[in-house]
Structure 1
Amino acid sequence: MKKLVLLVTLVMVVLAACSQKKEEQKPAETTANEEVSIKVASLIPPMTEILELIQPTLEEQGINMEVVVLGDNVQPNNALANEEVDANFFQHVPYMEEYNRSNDSNLVPVTPIYFANYGVYAKDFSSMDELPEGAVVAIANDVSNIDRSLKLLDQHGVITLGEKTDTYFTQADIKENPKNYEFKEVDLLMLARMYDDADAVVMTPAYAAPLGLTPKSDALLTEGTDNDFAITLVAREDNVDTEAIQKLAEAMTSDEVRKFLEENFDETAIPAF
């Protein structure tokens, strides 16, 4: 009789364990089928427009993406580093790397999306040769974009840079400045305003567009695509390999996005994929 009781008890324990295991598995199965939500910080078109374009594609794959539009070029990285968003889309890799160095952060590039064709614009002059001696040229004031602006001018022979002795070129590296241009460093978001005040401004199409300017029609000089400054989708080390971020990257490098850029942003946002 004792053996029978023991056998029944053992069977009941096994059945209970199996039942518990099935119950534990159910939430995992449900989670796999649940919609995933991600937040992506951005700034201005065409960045925001690209994200809005791919939202339906992501929804079909079970990813609900919220586009968080922020007001300056510091907030998107802060938000990503603080895990307030899952990715951002507004910057090139050198800018991201400088943020990491300055903030001990672990932001990482996911994939390049487009080249924002950097250019030199002038309200009162139609060529660089027309700029007078000592002309004021406005450039961005963060180290990566100071480097970028000086490289563009060096590329076209406006100035000559010496050997790079640090991570970035600075004004101290200018070895030849034949027309003694004065380079005024201002915040990125102030560049468009400098169009009326400076003799020339070095800026991306995103800041030139509100002024009705394009690289193809209005820039005195342009950068092209032979550089490391493609606008890039950025995530963190801890989430870059997640399925949601990888699907986001796939959607952002689709034929749909390429066609959108080619049809709507000729020479302004050149696909980098």
Structure 2
Amino acid sequence: MKKRFLTVGLATLLLAACSDEQATTNETPEATTLKVASLIPPMTEILELVEPTLEAEGINLEIVVLGDNVQPNAALAANEVDANFFQHKPYMEEYNRNNDANLVPIEEIYFANYGVYAKNVDTIDALPDGATVAIANDVSNIDRSLALLAQHNVITLGDKKDVYYTEADITANPKNLQFEAVDLLMLARMYDDADAVVMTPAYASPLGLTPKSDALLTEGIDNDFAITLVARDDNKDDGAIEALAEAMTSDAVREFLKTNYDETAIAAF
């Protein structure tokens, strides 16, 4: 009887061990949380659109909406978020240079059609001599603004003396335009105060302005300024980052941009 008891006991223990192993095997893995910093629509809307896709893959997308164009890169560099989605590659590269950071572009998502807007004139030729033109004050967007004006022969630029164009590179300025550099988030406010403003659709849209209907000049897509998903060099190959990039370049995102933003946000994929 004693031997039989031991045999039954051993079988019971083995059965229990197998049951525990099976329970562990069948246990749903804990979802991966992916924190992505962003600023404004359509950036935040695209992230919201792909949330269900990522959730189905076991990835919990946490969208961190920040209040200015400095915080997203600072948060990413400090490992406070895993990626960000608000900037073009030249802006990211300038941040890297100034902060000894290792941010990397993952995927270009859309072109924010840059444009020149003016409240009181309908054509660029109608701007008065000496007109004040408001532009963003970071070096990559100064470059972009000047290049847009040069693209349409409003000014002439010489060869770049450094990484970016600056006002010092202007070789001809027939209208004697006066440039006022302000923070990106101040551009929309300058629409009432300056003769013209050079800005993206994100800042023109709250004013009821679109590149297609209201801009005196537009940039198009022949440039390096697509709004891009950005991560760090140490996490660029993470599966969750790759899944996010794939979801953000889906047909659903392309259709969303086409339906809701037309020319203001042109798919880059």
Q: State, as a whole percentage, how many aligned pairs show the same letter.
A: 75
In structure 2, distance between residues paired with 1:179 and 1:139: 16
Work out the CA distance in 2 between the residues paired with 1:99 and 1:154: 25
Alpha-carbon displacement from aligned partner over 1:199-218 (angstroms, at most 9, x marks no partner)? 00000000000000000000
Gaps of 5+ in 2: 1-16
Provide the residue aligned with 1:208 in structure 2.
204
The aligned residue for residue 74 of structure 2 is: 78
Counterpart secondary structure, 1:241: coil
**Alpha-carbon deviation of 1:165?**
1.2
Gaps of 5+ in 1: 1-18
* Matched AA of 1:135: A
Cα distance in 2 for partners of 1:66, 1:33 equals 18
Aligned to 1:192: 188
| Aligned with 1:95 (options 91, 94, 97) | 91
Which residue of structure 2 aligns with residue 9 of structure 1?
A: none
* 2:95 partner SS: helix
For 2:130, which of 129, 134, 146 is the aligned residue?
A: 134
Q: Which residue of 2 aligns with 1:115?
A: 111
Q: Is 1:154 aligned to residue 154 of structure 2?
A: no
Does residue 47 (structure 1) correspond to residue 57 (structure 2)? The answer is no
SS where residue 225 of structure 1 aligns?
coil
State the partner residue of 2:247: 251
Give the partner amino acid of 1:271: A
* SS of match in other structure, 2:262: coil
Q: 2:255 & 2:227 partners in 1: Cα distance?
A: 17
2:238 paired with 1:242: yes
Tell me by how many angstroms 1:32 deviates: 8.7
The whole-number CA distance in structure 2 between the counterparts of 1:243 and 1:32 is 18
SS at match of 2:263: coil
Q: Secondary structure at the match of 2:75?
A: helix
- Residue 62 to residue 137, structure 1, CA distance change in 2 (3 Å): same
Q: CA 1:243 to 1:31, structure 2 compared with 1: closer, same or farther past 3 Å? A: farther
Q: Which string of whole-angstrom CA distances, capped at 9 and with x for unpartnered residues, describes residues 58-105 of structure 1?
A: 000100000000000000000000000000000000000000000000
**TM-score for the superposition, normalised by structure 2:** 0.90
Task: Report the Cα offset of residue 30 of structure 1.
Answer: 8.2
Partner secondary structure for residue 206 of structure 2: helix
Structural RMSD (CA): 1.6
Aligned residue type for 1:58: L
Moved beyond 6 Å, runs of 4+: 29-32
C-alpha separation in 1, matches of 2:140 and 2:121: 27
Aligned positions, number: 250
1:225 is aligned, of 210, 221, 224, to 221
1:23-42 to structure 2, matched below 5 A, reads 33-42=29-38
Q: Secondary structure at the match of 1:33?
A: coil
Q: Give the CA deviation at 1:33.
A: 2.7
Read off the aligned partner of 1:219 and give its amino acid letter. Answer: A
**In 2: Cα distance, 1:75 partner to 1:127 partner:** 36
- Equivalent in 165, 179, 184 of residue 183 of structure 1: 179
User: Whole-Å Cα distance in 1 between the matches of residues 209 and 197 of structure 2?
Assistant: 12
Give, as a single letter, the amino acid of the residue that structure 2 aligns with 1:109: P
Structure 1 counterpart of 2:58: 62
For residue 270 of structure 1, give the secondary structure of its aligned residue in structure 2: strand
Equivalent position amino acid for 1:140 in 2: A
Q: Distance in 2 between matches of 1:39 and 1:179?
A: 47
Task: Give SS of 1:267's match.
Answer: helix
User: How far does the alpha carbon of each residue in 1:221-242 deviate from its partner, in whole angstroms, 9 at most, with x for none?
Assistant: 0000000000000000010100
TM, length-normalised to structure 1: 0.89
The whole-number CA distance in structure 1 between the counterparts of 2:256 and 2:40 is: 16
Q: Deviations over 1:98-132 (max 9, x none)?
A: 00000000000000000000000000010001000
Q: Separation in 2 of the partners of 1:225 and 1:96?
A: 19
Offset from partner CA, 1:141-177 (integer Å, 9 cap, x none): 0000000000000000000000111000000000000
Taking a change above 3 Å as real, the CA distance of residues 31 and 73 of structure 1, as seen in their structure-2 partners, is farther
CA distance in 2, matches of 1:235, 1:105: 11
